[in-house]
Amino acid sequence: MPYATTSLRCDSNGLFGTGGSRLAAFVSVTLAILLLFATSPIHNDAYWSDSATFALNGELIRDYLSSGFSKAPMAYANVWFRHYPALTISAYPPVFPVVEAAMFALFGFSNAIAQATVTAFCGVAACGAYRLARTCMAPLASAAFILMFFATPCVLLWSRRVMMELPFLSFLLLGAAALLEYQTTAKNGKLWLALCMVLAAVYTKQSAIFAAPAFAAALLLEDGATLLRRPAVWIAAGLGLVALLPLVAFTVVYALPMLEIGMGTFPGSGGGSQGLALDYLQALPAIVGWLPFIGALGYVVLVCAKGWRDVFERRLAVLMFCWFVCGFAFLSLTAHFEERYGIILTVPSAAFCVMFVVRLAPQTLSGGLAFVGALALFGFSLPAYPIPKVKGYSDAAAYLINHAHSGDVVLLDIDNTANFSFGLRESDNRQKLYVLRAEKIFVNYLFGGNTIKFDRGFSTQQIKSVINRYGVSYVVLQEPGLWINEPSMARLEAFVRNSGEFQEIASLPIDSVIKSKRVKIDIFVNKNPAQVSPAAIREMESHR
């Protein structure tokens, strides 16, 4: 296709001027990132319990490093789990928890620091997005891309939770920028940087692997067969495959159930991926937002009708197209649907939407209009997508820290074990209490497309034997009862409340904007607890 004489890279001097463009871009993006942090749950009140779990992963690593590598890593994790039974360290790659551990070492362990770690990755993502957009667009339009990306519903939600979505996307954005710079300069260092960023993303979350074929396809579409005659490309491909081998081994050895769930082969996972492509297509406006969705479609139609303005626009658009196609294909092949997995589709959608505005508007106003529009969309969307919170689990944890004795055993039957465990770790760092999760003992359950539960059939006498075997001193029950439809769990609650062997010593409210989460936590003390044996303490590791 022929290229027009005007370029999307031209600076727009009609609104702020060149210097003003960069200042406006920096200030607006910085404020947006700070607002993301300010509106996040930072008091151990995240409704999404995995936030607490991922924060605890980082604290485990910090504790392990502080111990001077006192045990083998998994052995240390098993011991740590006896006290804080909410870990996913064996299911995901190490980059994010290692970064968290460094942050905790510098600033202390808290929900605010855990969230600040994610916010820092938002800053990295902004840098990557700006570098990516600047290969094609002016400063204000590049800032508009960042704001449009942050304004997508999926990013608004998951940038304000202690999760790995923004960290792995930040690496991919840096890698995409390096790839386009490689296409422009032909410097092999840019290719190595792109490779390193993709590997960093995959070692943050395995699903980032979709970017490898996307980047390769973008290079092939640009350079054709000549790409295959470059030694650096073959070296990068070989090094990438070798670098992935440790992650493959880790996933097979430690995270095979997660892989099986993703493939639909794990029992109870709900089968294969039939219909998921349609599910993600239907959910796309909810994932990326209606305005970016419409703008992206408009850009595709515009390019089909009028072609590219220049080679820089073509390279960015082709890369974003490959990103979208490979990401969508990856999502369609997984075994079950979650909107948050679709976060990978927000990057090309935001890019295409901004490019559409820039192409339609007069050249002297295009960057400014895109910037003002994206800023307005972010300002509107931020309060429109509040993060649900749940408060009170830390209060229950603090109560036990203040009233229980070192070495006491606590049996939990509550909804949010992760927030409770986080509260224990935040309140006391001496591993004072042993904590058991009742559902791990009395119910066999599998997480997949749906949660499949199999009651273990414990009688009341057997439940009493378990309590005595582990020397349970305190039982924490949620009211209304959790998993009360499982006979063993119903018998546990009835025994604790009605047997006369336990006394209720506290009842604490759990508050949430979500009505179903407004419950209360009752804490019971065992009037005559048995002494827990060292063998029983070691056995606690089996209830994971």
How do residues 427-475 score in pLDDT, each as one tens digit? 876 768 999 999 889 988 765 444 556 889 999 999 999 999 999 999 9
Provide, rounded to the nearest whole percent, the portion of the chain with pLDDT above 70: 90
Q: Tell me, what's the pLDDT at 259?
A: 61
DSSP characters over 428-495 = -SS---EEEEHHHHHEEEEESSSEEEEE----HHHHHHHHHHTTEEEEEEEESPTTTTSHHHHHHHHH
What is the arithmetic mean of pLDDT over 516-536?
Answer: 90
Query: In this structure, what are the phi and psi dihedrals at residue 261, rounded to the nearest 5 degrees?
Result: -65, -45
**How much is the average pLDDT of 227-248?**
93
Look up residue 436 and give its two tokens: 């058991």
Residue 21 pLDDT = 76
Per-residue pLDDT at 334: 80
For 504, the 3-state DSSP assignment is strand
Tell whether pTM > 0.85.
Answer: yes
Q: What average pLDDT score do residues 202-211 get? A: 95
Confidence of residue 484 (pLDDT cuts 50, 70, 90): confident
- Give the residue extent of every domain in the chain: 17-42+110-384, 390-542
- CA 349, 352, 356, 357 dihedral sign is positive
pLDDT digits (tens, 9 = 90+) for 312-355: 999 999 999 999 999 999 998 887 788 999 999 999 999 999 99
Predicted confidence at residue 369, as pLDDT, reads 93
Residue 82: what residue type? R
Per-residue pLDDT reduced to its tens digit, 122-134: 999 999 999 999 9
% of the chain at pLDDT higher than 90: 71
User: Which amino acid, one-letter code, is at 512?
Assistant: S
Give residue 275's pLDDT band: very low, low, confident or very high (50, 70, 90).
low
- Write out the two tokens for 448: 């997949």
Give residue 510's pLDDT: 93
**84-109 pLDDT, tens digit each:** 999 888 788 999 999 999 999 999 99
Please give the average per-residue pLDDT across 513-517, as a whole number. Answer: 83
C-alpha–C-alpha distance, residues 507 and 479, integer Å? 9
CB atoms within 10 A of CB 260: 15
Calculate the dihedral angle through the C-alpha atoms of 91, 92, 98, 99, rounding to the nearest 10 degrees.
-140
Tell me the average pLDDT across 361-367: 87
Residue for token pair 């590598």: 69
**Residues shown for the chain:** 544
Bigger pLDDT: 242 vs 255:
242
If you average pLDDT over residues 254-269, what whole number do you get?
Answer: 57
Contact indicator for 386, 39 with CB cutoff of 8 Å: yes
Within 10 Å of residue 248's Cβ, how many Cβ atoms? 12
Residue 108 exposure: Cα atoms within 13 Å on the Cβ side: 6
pLDDT of residue 2: 37
- Nearest by Cα to 351 from 209, 119, 180: 180
Given a cut of 70, whether residue 229 has pLDDT beyond it is yes
Question: In 152-289, which ranges are continuous DSSP H helix?
Answer: 153-158, 165-185, 188-202, 211-223, 231-254, 256-263, 276-288
- Residue 449: the pLDDT is 44
Residue closest to 415 by CA, chosen among 295, 331, 510: 510
pLDDT reported for residue 364? 83
